[in-house]
Every structure is written in structure tokens, then in C-alpha cells.
Amino acid sequence: MSDSTVPRMPLGEWVETGVDWVTETFRPLFGFVKDVLSGAYDVLSELLLAPPFWVVTALLAVIALVAKGWKLALVTVAGFTLVASVDQWDNAMKTLALVILASLIALAIAVPLGIWSARSDTVSTVVKPVLDFMQTMPAFVYLIPTVVIFLTGVVPGIVATVIFALAPGVRFTELGIRQVDAEVVEAGQAFGATPGRILRQVQLPLAMPTIMAGVNQVIMLALSMVVISGMVGADGLGRDVVAALSSVDVGKGFEAGISVVILAIFLDRVTAGLSARTPVAKSLATGLV
């Protein structure tokens, strides 16, 4: 029941009008974005699906070996063999393609924005409430305007995933750079280094463990949102999860769900392993820093 003493604010109508105006005004731009994203997704998914399953599994196992060690490599082989055995290989590779593409776009936006926020208190003050809003907004809400703009399919899923996964990349990048010891930066300035050189050779290397933690969070959020994007017709495991929910098919839902878990474990452990292999992280582990 609404309180009759408080006049209703037509906030929803205002937002709907704004989305309609944006859709009509920038329709050619959105069409171009849709073509680019769908083309990039098609290429990436074809690259993952073209080779036999064992070739891709071996490649992923090598990545796991380099990032974390032989134990993760064995888990990777066993996990993706299980995915293939329950006929979820194609869906898993389509989901992986969506996660990779959305994460790369999110990081391409988040890292520069985080650097800018770290170097400017004004930008940080403006960006933080926007990030708070993005992180507290329910994930399903992001699908509504993207479907209005791009219709159903893979593209609204990618766009919604980028928006949903963006925030931790910005926050962790800013945090990592701001945590760099001011005396180290002042030493670089004393030797005549330019701000750009200090950023590239001092601040970013020292902040890399924190930035990599942000990369990990971006990828995990992207994976969770890609599954939800199955509701709007995005390819991959999310579509099977939604189909299983609609038909109350427990077996199909479990097979798709366990495939998501295996993919999440692989991505999480690999990014965590790569973070631990950065020079600063190695120095911290050996007690040299």
C-alpha cells in the first residue's frame, strides 16, 4: 500500500523516457557496437570450439601448470573431461568466450579509470558513488535496458556483464596505486622521472598484486553475470540453467551447474596464480620487501 500523503514521483517513467531517447538518438552507434561485439564473440567462440576437446583441454592445462602448478593442471584436465562427458563442452566454451570478451572490455575501461581516480581526488569523489550504485543494483536490472537497446541474444548479455563486472577493477586499481609508498614516488621524482614513467615503472609494478586481485574479481563477476544472461538468450551454460529451471529438470540443471563450478574454479585459481607470480608478490613471499 502506498502512503497517500506522499505524492508519487514518476521516476520509472523518467528512466523509461530517457532510455527510449538514448535508444533512438544513438541507434546507429548501438548497431555498430552490436556488430562488433557479436563478431568478436563469434570469432572467439569459434577459436575455442574448432579444435578437438582434448587440444583445448591440454592448452588450458598448460596455462594452469604455468600459473599454479601440476596439481591445478591435473584438476583442469579432470574437470574439463567431466564437462565434456556430460555434453556441456560446447556450452562451456561459449560461456568462456563470453567471460573472456566481457572481462577484457571491462578491464580496458576499469584499469585506466582506476589510474585516473588514483591520480585525481576529484575524479575519485565522482566515481565512487557511481561504483557504489553499480555494485548494489540487482544484477537482473542491468538486463532490462540492454535488451531494450540491443534486443535479445549474446550482445545484451555482454554489455550487461561489462557493466556489472566493472566496479571491482576500478576500485582495486585505485587502491593499489594509492597504497604505493609516497617516499618511493618522491625518490623517482627526485631522479627526474616524469609522472608517466613513475606510473609505468614504479606505481603499476608495485600495485600489480592488488590490481590482479581486481582482475580476479572482475572475471568472477563476469562469469556469474554471463550465467544470468542466459535469461535474455545469451549462449552458453546460462541458457541451459534457465531451460532447466523452466522445465524443472534437476539433472540438466546439475550438469550445467557443475560445469559452471569447474569453469569458475579454473578461472579463479589461474588468476590467483598469476597474481602470485608478479615480481612484487614474489618479493613479499620471500621477505625481500
Q: Which residue has the cell 563442452?
A: 89
pLDDT in tens, 153-184: 788 888 888 888 888 999 999 999 888 888 88
pLDDT > 60? residue 202: yes
The mean pLDDT of 120-141, rounded to a whole number, is 86
pLDDT in tens, 42-98: 999 999 998 888 999 999 999 999 888 888 899 999 999 999 988 889 989 999 999
Please tell me the predicted confidence (pLDDT) of residue 80: 93
pLDDT > 70? residue 277: no
Nearest to 180 by CA among 215, 213, 208: 208
Percent of the chain beyond pLDDT 90?
Answer: 18
d(CA 274, CA 68) in angstroms, rounded, equals: 7
Q: Note the pTM of the prediction, 2 decimals.
A: 0.86
Q: Output the nine-digit C-alpha cell for 17.
A: 523516457
Q: Find all residues with CB under 8 Å of 197, minimum gap 6, and list them.
A: 188
What structural domains and CATH numbers belong to the chain?
25-286 (1.10.3720.10)
CA-to-CA separations, 195 to 38, 61, 105, 186, 192, in angstroms, rounded = 38, 40, 26, 11, 9
- Burial classification of residue 43, based on how many CB atoms lie within 10 Å of its CB (0-12 exposed, 13-18 middle, 19 or more buried): exposed
Please tell me the predicted confidence (pLDDT) of residue 284: 52
Q: Give the pLDDT band of residue 285 (cuts 50, 70, 90).
A: low
pLDDT > 70? residue 278: no
Would you say 2 and 132 are in contact if contact means Cβ atoms under 8 Å apart? no
Least confident of 70-84, 194-208, 266-280: 266-280
Helices 250-276 and 204-228, axial angle in degrees (round to 10): 170
